[in-house]
């Protein structure tokens, strides 16, 4: 592990194990801003500007809510630049997918592991995050890089239900040949895997297939494959119950987003401790 100052991302933590390298920006939402294997980028690096402007690129987190929340803060948000930029593209929630991705995090680093923390008292533009999110919460996220890949571990608790997940923008390399295999309930009964190509647009949630304790979703491109493995059976506070596939037509990225609750149901988890493992290969 080492730290370095990046001109756009601020003070970053770099994890490196074998051919894999991961770079995390605590100042920009504890986001994953680089992830490579054998020098090949897994993230769509062309979306750096969209990430810096509105967190729509590279590797932002989802927490402590997913999508657009009904709550709107009373505070003056004029000093937070991304709010107006989101509104300009039709996003009414000033903290879409949760305030965590827009805040600076405190960190502790050890070996090839870094742990970041925020809570409702953490401030963004001088405003407590609890006032921006609408409830008090505590969040810790740990990135750890080992020989098998990158682990992202969530430890969340809130006065109201909390959500956790990742919203990483993966490089499809070639949209015409890339494909994904999702281990979901919607898969054919005789297969167990839903096979999808990227000739069309995707913005849909699926229910994780819970026939085994863990399931794996696989993205295959012309340069790399990426396995996303999550727990889907066990205590509710530890399972990822949905996966969202997002890839607008004509774009060179896809987001495969494990989510801690059923996307079309009621989230009742006031605590969540789940881990996502990303295993890239070239």
Confidence at residue 192, expressed as pLDDT on a 0 to 100 scale: 85
Confidence at residue 191, expressed as pLDDT on a 0 to 100 scale: 87
Q: What is the pLDDT of residues 244-271, one digit of tens each?
A: 999 999 999 999 999 999 999 999 999 9
Q: What is the DSSP letter of 26?
A: G
Q: How far apart are CA 3 and CA 107, in angstroms?
A: 12
Residue 54, both tokens: 């509105």
Q: Count CA atoms closer than 13 A to 234's CA, side-chain side.
A: 16
Phi, psi of 224 (to 5 degrees): -155, 165
> What does the CA dihedral 252, 28, 151, 227 come to, rounded to 10 degrees?
-10
> What does the CA dihedral 173, 176, 181, 185 come to, rounded to 10 degrees?
130
Confidence at residue 39, expressed as pLDDT on a 0 to 100 scale: 96
Is the sign of the CA dihedral 94, 99, 278, 203 positive or negative? negative
Confidence at residue 5, expressed as pLDDT on a 0 to 100 scale: 94
Confidence at residue 115, expressed as pLDDT on a 0 to 100 scale: 98
pTM of full prediction above 0.95: yes
Band the pLDDT of 189: cuts 50, 70, 90: confident
């Amino acid at each position: 592990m080492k730290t370095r100052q990046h001109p756009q991302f601020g003070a970053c933590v770099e994890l490196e194990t074998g051919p894999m390298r991961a770079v995390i920006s605590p100042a920009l939402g504890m986001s994953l801003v680089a992830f490579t294997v054998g020098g090949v980028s897994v993230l769509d690096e062309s979306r750096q500007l969209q990430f810096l402007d509105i967190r729509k690129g590279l590797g932002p987190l989802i927490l402590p809510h997913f999508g657009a929340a009904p709550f709107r803060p009373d505070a003056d948000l004029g000093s937070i630049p991304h709010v107006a930029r989101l509104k300009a593209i039709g996003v009414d929630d000033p903290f879409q997918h949760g305030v965590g991705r827009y805040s600076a995090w405190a960190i502790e680093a050890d070996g090839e592991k870094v742990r970041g923390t925020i809570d409702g008292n953490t401030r963004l533009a001088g405003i407590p995050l609890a006032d921006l999110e609408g409830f008090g919460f505590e969040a810790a996220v740990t990135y750890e890089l080992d020989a098998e890949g990158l682990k992202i571990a969530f430890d969340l608790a809130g006065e109201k239900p909390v959500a956790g997940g990742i919203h990483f923008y993966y490089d499809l390399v070639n949209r015409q040949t890339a494909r994904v295999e999702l281990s979901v309930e919607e898969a054919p009964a005789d297969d167990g895997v839903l096979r999808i190509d990227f000739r069309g647009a995707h913005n849909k949630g699926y229910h994780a297939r819970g026939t085994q304790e863990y399931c794996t979703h696989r993205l295959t491109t012309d340069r790399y494959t990426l396995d996303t493995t999550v727990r889907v059976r066990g205590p509710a506070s530890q399972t990822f119950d949905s996966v969202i596939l997002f890839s607008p037509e004509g774009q060179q990225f896809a987001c495969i987003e494990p989510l801690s609750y059923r996307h079309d149901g009621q989230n009742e988890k006031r605590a969540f401790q789940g881990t996502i493992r990303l295993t890239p290969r070239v």
